[in-house]
């Protein structure tokens, strides 16, 4: 009975809101300290206008007090006739209480939700959430949503836009839990209403000397967020208000350590990578207790600095994937150091440029596969290890796929790391072939030299940080690629520390490539200009979302790569799209520069 009355009251308020939306603001409590109430900016709001410094006046006909979380003055009372019109014969309940509750439900669905995440749902999240960096544990970045289709995507329009006001480009994948989006740039975390784009809170980290290359996002466990910092700290925040719970150091910035990745939550483990790409230091993956911040285990990708004839490096800077059935965590690792001078680090340089499978409870290595043995071109293997359960050459398999920076596409059996397929997906000229284990064989004549070496791909690789997507219906691994050539140099004066050489890009062309995972052949391709920095998202309806080098958001037909829709954003797209459904409406989220964009079909659709 109460539910029915509340719904009636809420419907009445919605009518009032539609009539008075231009006179309405947004109520947000104003936390203190490092949590900021800086107003969001909505370019095209669909329900409420931009907040007026975090305060909302309720609709004029509402009897609710006009207040924020700290209290405030009461608003106008409803007359008896107004009450009767709004809720009829609700004689047993207080009119004002019901209307107040309905208004809060309508305006502040976020406040009444738990703002918590059970880690068990990450493996199979509902349509109204995007609870981890990849959306789920698989890394497929594929959604079951079907409201936006190849037939209606041409009607896609801007639902809202949020401006960070920061010079830093958004590279993070937002998390969505309980109707709230959480996203980052270095030193900053925002909580934003996923329906309207209005800011709920913002956390700003202290000024620091860390490496501000970019930031990939946050992780969530129960009602807490986990945020890595440029100076190698891991911070736990309360999701409801952005207040700091604890702050632990996971690396020493004075030695060159930093973190940029979005952590991965596996049950009661918060897992992140720590390293330093520009210094001769060892890197590692660490598991942190989400309750206390204490270290549970650490896996070192390389031996301690100073170990004779051994490499350093191997930074882990992108979020891995996890198989709950096998209880295996999959991660890529970064390049060795010194980067371009391989003479001081003979051998394969394990475990740099490696796909590794770890036990998430102990950190013990189960198996490892090395896409780039003895790398001398900065081609880490950190790219997303995508999990797929499918037939491979007629046999059901648990597969792990990676389009690697070195230009090769790999398909592995993820139970044991054995190679099933190794093939280039673009111009590659640095190898002598592939060994019996499926690893490319480096050509010594293609190592950097004083007179230069022409190398394909260039230092940025045939792909990089941008996420791929796997579409199960078409059997396509779709990746944002960049065919390229470069000149690599090395001379004694470059030494054996840090970069230790030079490279100069000569030519490059961005291409979205759809790879048939059974054969490695390119099924279709779509040119996107000179560069490539946007990730890929596919949906069950057959739409692929990505971006080009000119700042256009693109919707392609997944079956053949043809253009269905595009929209200019005015800046570089350097993140990977996500999608979610709220109130029977599907949204696609992209970014450009420091602006987050939400796209949706018009409500009439």
pLDDT reading at 390 higher than 80: yes
Whether 378 sits among the annotated catalytic residues: the reply is: yes
In this prediction, residue 61 has a pLDDT band, given cuts at 50, 70 and 90, of very low
- Which range has the top average pLDDT, 37-51, 69-83, 553-567? 553-567
- Work out the pLDDT band at 239, boundaries 50, 70, 90: very high
Q: How many residues does the chain have?
A: 605
DSSP string, 179-213: TEEEEEETTEEEEEETTT--EEEEEEPPP--S--S
What mean pLDDT comes out for the span 154-163?
A: 98
Top mean-pLDDT range of 44-48, 495-499, 556-560 = 556-560
- Distances, alpha carbon 346 to alpha carbons 277, 302, 338, in Å: 19, 14, 12
Q: Distance between CA 209 and CA 212 in Å, rounded?
A: 9
Mean pLDDT of 246-265: 96
Determine the average pLDDT of the residues in 106-110: 45
Over 50: is that where the pLDDT of 31 sits? no
Predicted local confidence at residue 605, as pLDDT: 56
**pTM over 0.75, yes/no:** yes
pLDDT score of 53 more than 60: no
Q: What pLDDT does 37 receive?
A: 61
- Residue 446 sits at the vertex; the CA angle it makes with 351 and 435, to the nearest 5 degrees, is 55
User: Which of 193, 323, 378, 471 is an active site residue?
Assistant: 378
Q: Are 133 and 177 in contact (CB under 8 A)?
A: no
8 A C-beta contact, residue 59 and residue 16: yes
Q: Which segment of 12-26, 256-270, 281-295, 403-417 scores lowest on mean pLDDT?
A: 12-26
Distance from chain centroid for Cα 466: 9
14-28, 341-355, 438-452, 565-579: range with lowest mean pLDDT: 14-28
pLDDT one-digit tens code per residue, 367-389:
999 999 999 999 999 999 999 99
Place of tokens 């059901």: 396
Q: Write the DSSP assignment of 391-440 as a string of letters.
A: EETTEEEEEEEEE-TTSEEEEEETTTTEEEEEEESS---SEEEE-TTS-E
Least confident segment among 115-119, 403-407, 417-421:
115-119
Smallest CA-to-CA distance from 158 within 46, 41, 47, 48 is with 46
Other beta carbons within 10 angstroms of residue 127's beta carbon come to 16
The span from the CA of 321 to the CA of 333, in Å, is 13
Q: Describe the strand order of the beta sheet including 219-221 as a list of residue ranges.
A: 219-221, 224-228, 233-238, 244-249
* Tokens at 267, concatenated: 């049950």
Structural tokens at position 346: 């003979």
DSSP assignments along 283-340, one per residue:
-EEEEE-TTT--EEEEEESSPPTT-TT--EE----S--EEETTTTEEEEE---EESSS
- Which two tokens mark 518? 């059974």
Looking at residue 36, its pLDDT comes to 67
Domain locations in the chain?
Answer: 2-112, 138-146+396-573
CATH class of 138-146+396-573: mainly beta
Is the pLDDT at 350 greater than 50? The verdict is yes
* Band of residue 24 on the pLDDT scale cut at 50, 70, 90: very low
Report, in angstroms and rounded to the nearest whole number, the Rg of the chain calculated over CA atoms. Answer: 25
* Chain center to CA of 155: 26
The pair of structure tokens assigned to 292 is: 């206390």
What integer pLDDT is reported at residue 331 of this predicted model? 98
Binned at pLDDT 50, 70 and 90, residue 67 comes out as very low
Joined together, the tokens standing for residue 206 give: 């202290």
pLDDT of 286 over the 80 cut: yes
For residue 127, the model assigns a pLDDT of 97
Report d(CA 16, CA 41) in Å as an integer.
Answer: 24
What is the mean predicted confidence (pLDDT) over 49-60? 30
Please report the pLDDT score of residue 94 as a whole number.
44
Structure tokens, 16: 């009032």
Q: Which residues pair with 233 in a beta bridge?
A: 249
pLDDT at 308: 87
pLDDT at 144 over 90: yes
Residues 6+ apart with CB under 8 A from 569: 547, 551, 552, 553, 590, 592, 593, 595, 597
pLDDT computed for residue 305 by the predictor: 86
Query: What pLDDT is stored for residue 604 in this prediction?
Result: 73
């Amino acid at each position: 009975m109460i539910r029915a009355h509340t719904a009636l009251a809420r419907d009445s308020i919605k009518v009032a809101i539609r009539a008075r939306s231009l006179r309405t603001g947004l109520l947000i409590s104003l936390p203190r300290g490092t949590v900021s109430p800086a107003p969001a900016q909505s370019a095209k709001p669909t329900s409420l206008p931009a907040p007026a410094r975090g305060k909302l006046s309720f609709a004029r006909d509402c009897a609710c007090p006009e207040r924020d979380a700290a209290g405030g003055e009461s608003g106008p009372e409803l007359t008896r006739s107004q009450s009767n019109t709004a809720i009829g014969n609700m004689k047993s309940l207080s009119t004002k209480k019901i209307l107040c509750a309905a208004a809060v439900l309508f305006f502040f669905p976020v406040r009444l939700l738990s703002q918590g995440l059970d880690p068990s749902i990450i493996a199979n999240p509902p349509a109204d959430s995007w609870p981890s960096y990849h959306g789920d544990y698989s890394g497929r970045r594929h959604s079951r949503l079907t409201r936006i289709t190849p037939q209606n995507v041409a009607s896609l329009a801007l639902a809202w836009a949020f401006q960070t006001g920061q010079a830093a480009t958004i590279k993070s994948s937002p998390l969505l839990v309980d109707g709230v989006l959480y996203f980052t740039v270095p030193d900053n975390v925002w909580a934003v209403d996923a329906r309207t784009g209005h800011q709920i809170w913002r956390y700003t980290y202290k000024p620091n000397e860390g490496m501000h290359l970019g930031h990939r996002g946050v992780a969530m466990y129960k009602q807490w967020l986990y945020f890595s910092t440029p100076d190698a700290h891991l911070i736990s925040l309360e999701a409801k208000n952005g207040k700091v719970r604890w702050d632990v150091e996971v690396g020493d910035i004075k030695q060159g350590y930093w973190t940029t990745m979005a952590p991965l939550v596996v049950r009661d483990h918060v897992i992140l990578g720590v390293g330093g790409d520009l210094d001769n230091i060892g890197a590692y993956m660490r598991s942190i207790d989400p309750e206390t911040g204490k270290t549970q285990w650490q896996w070192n990708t390389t031996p301690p600095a100073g170990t004779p004839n051994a490499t350093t490096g191997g930074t882990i800077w992108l979020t891995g994937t996890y198989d709950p059935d096998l209880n295996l965590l999959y991660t890529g690792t970064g390049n060795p150091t010194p980067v371009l001078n391989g003479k001081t680090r003979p051998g394969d340089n394990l475990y740099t440029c490696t796909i590794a499978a770890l036990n998430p409870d102990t950190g013990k290595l189960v198996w490892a596969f090395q896409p780039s043995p003895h790398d001398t071109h900065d081609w880490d293997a950190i790219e997303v290890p995508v999990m797929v359960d499918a037939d491979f050459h007629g046999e059901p398999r648990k597969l792990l796929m990676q389009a690697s920076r070195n230009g090769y596409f790999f398909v592995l059996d993820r139970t044991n790391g054995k190679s099933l397929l190794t093939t280039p997906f673009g111009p590659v000229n640095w190898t002598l072939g592939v060994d019996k284990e499926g690893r490319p064989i480096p050509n010594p004549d293609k190592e950097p030299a004083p007179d230069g070496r022409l190398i394909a791909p260039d230092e940025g690789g045939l792909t990089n940080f941008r996420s791929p997507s796997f579409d199960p219906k078409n059997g396509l691994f779709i990746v944002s690629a960049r065919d390229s050539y470069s000149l690599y140099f090395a001379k004694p004066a470059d030494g054996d520390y840090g970069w230790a050489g030079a490279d100069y890009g000569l030519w490059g062309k961005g291409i979205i490539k759809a790879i048939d995972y059974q054969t490695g052949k390119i099924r279709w391709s779509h040119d996107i200009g000179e560069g490539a920095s946007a990730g890929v998202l596919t949906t069950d309806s057959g739409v692929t979302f990505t971006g080009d080098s000119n700042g256009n958001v693109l919707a392609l037909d997944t079956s053949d790569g043809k253009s269905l829709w595009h929209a200019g954003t005015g800046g570089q797209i350097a993140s990977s799209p996500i999608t979610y459904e709220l109130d029977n409406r599907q949204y696609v989220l992209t970014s450009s520069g420091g602006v987050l964009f939400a796209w949706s079909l018009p409500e009439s659709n």
